[in-house]
Each structure stands twice: as structure tokens, then as C-alpha cells.
Chain A
Amino acid sequence: RKEVEQDPGPFNVPEGATVAFNCTYSNSASQSFFWYRQDCRKEPKLLMSVYSSGNEDGRFTAQLNRASQYISLLIRDSKLSDSATYLCVVTPSGAGSYQLTFGKGTKLSVIP
């Protein structure tokens, strides 16, 4: 089983739509969780951390389900500028918490 799995997409959605991505992870000891965004041929950039209680940043909501070992990202009122690849990232606990494990990403295209 792959450590971090994501639906590769692409997700093609119209402007204004709500879209959700899920990501599953295999290491139950994973400690920290993030969503990164990567534009075509550019570097990944941190979109948001994912906290145990769930968290929201504007149109973006991230949630964590430790029991089922998945995290999710919800984007409301999609904009053309949201078109990118979204990477799910987890880290183990303890001394290895600097070791990021990346999913392969989910590609989102927001269509006018």
C-alpha cells in the first residue's frame, strides 16, 4: 500500500463550484498533515496545515480523520486561479517529523 494516496484527477469544475479532494495515508503514527499547491512547472507552496479539529482559511477547509486515516480539502466558490495540482503531505511523529511524504497530487482545472 502506498504511503500517501490521492486521486490524480483531473477534476474539471466550473467557476463557483465546490470541490473536495481526499487523501489517505498508511502510517497510523503520522503526526502532521499539510496541503501544498503546485502550479505547472513551479515549486510547491504550502496552502494550509491540517489540524485535528479541522481548520478553515477563507474558501478552503481542511479536515483530518485519524480513525480512517484520511485528510480532505474543500474549496468553495472555485476561482480560475485555483487551477493547480494539490499535494497531500504527511509527516511521521517524533524525530522523523521533518520527513515529508508527498502524495502524487490531484490536478484541478477550474473552467470559465
Chain B
Amino acid sequence: EAQVTQNPRYLITVTGKKLTVTCSQNMNHEYMSWYRQDPGLGLRQIYYSMNVEVTDKGDVPEGYKVSRKEKRNFPLILESPSPNQTSLYFCASSSSTGTGYEQYFGPGTRLTVT
């Protein structure tokens, strides 16, 4: 089954404790991306990757890091989480179609930083 998986699905942590949210896709997609979704603000892009070893900042990259060492994986790293990073996080992947890039989303990771 074609899918994007994220782990963990739920995480409660404390300020300053480094964490990693994993993302993996089995569709051989070149493009992967991370978003956060907050009430009233919609989906905002954190980082994206066009292919292995190619990453770039999205709209809200502060406080996050990513890496793309393999095509299928795109982990999101919070080196020193803060309460304002409490959010719902989605990973997505896509390949181009005739009319653009249709993205497939993972199930989401709900992060709470206390």
C-alpha cells in the first residue's frame, strides 16, 4: 500500500529535550515536505526537500532541522523544543503530475511541549 508514515503519532515532551519525528514514504517520490498546522493559521511549510541531500527552508523554519540522506526518509529534528512548537505536524511527499505536484500526507504527529 502506497503511504507516508510518521512516528511517533503523539508526543509530549519538555522544553529543551531534543526530539526527532520520523517520516518515510514508499512511493519513490522525489519531493518531501514538513508542515505544521495550528488553529487559525492553517498549514504552514517548515522545510522541504527536492531530492536526496537537497533541502530548503519553507515559511517557518526557525527551531527546526531536517535531513535527507535517503530518498524515502525525511526526519524532522527539534534540537531544543519550546512551547511555541506545540502543534500538529504533517509530513508529505509528491511527484510531479501533468498539472503540478499532488502531495500525499502522513497521518500527523501531535506534539506538546511543556
Interface residues of chain A, those whose CB is within 8 Å of chain B, are: 31-34, 41-46, 49, 51, 87, 91, 97-100, 102-105
Contact = CB atoms under 8 A, between A and B. Distances in A.
Contacts of B45: 99-100
Chain A contact surface mostly: loop
B2 to A, nearest CB: 13
B106 interface: yes
Given A98-B94, A102-B42, A103-B42, A43 B100 contact: no
A44 B43 contact: yes
B50 interface: yes
B94 to A, nearest CB: 7
A99 B42 contact: no
Given A99-B45, A105-B42, A44 B101 contact: no
A98 B42 contact: no
A32 B50 CA distance: 18
B34 interface: no
B100 to A, nearest CB: 3
Interface residues of B, number: 25
A45 B103 CA distance: 8
Contacts of B103: 46, 100
Given A31-B100, A32-B99, A49-B100, A98 B31 contact: yes
B109 to A, nearest CB: 11
B41 interface: yes
Interface string B35-78: 00000111101001010000000100000000000000000000
Contacts of A46: 102-104
Contacts of A41: 88, 108
Interface in B15-42: 31, 33, 40-42
A104 B106 contact: no
Contact of A99 (B48, B90, B96, B105): B48
Residue among B33, B43, B101 with the highest chain A CB neighbour number at 10 A: B43
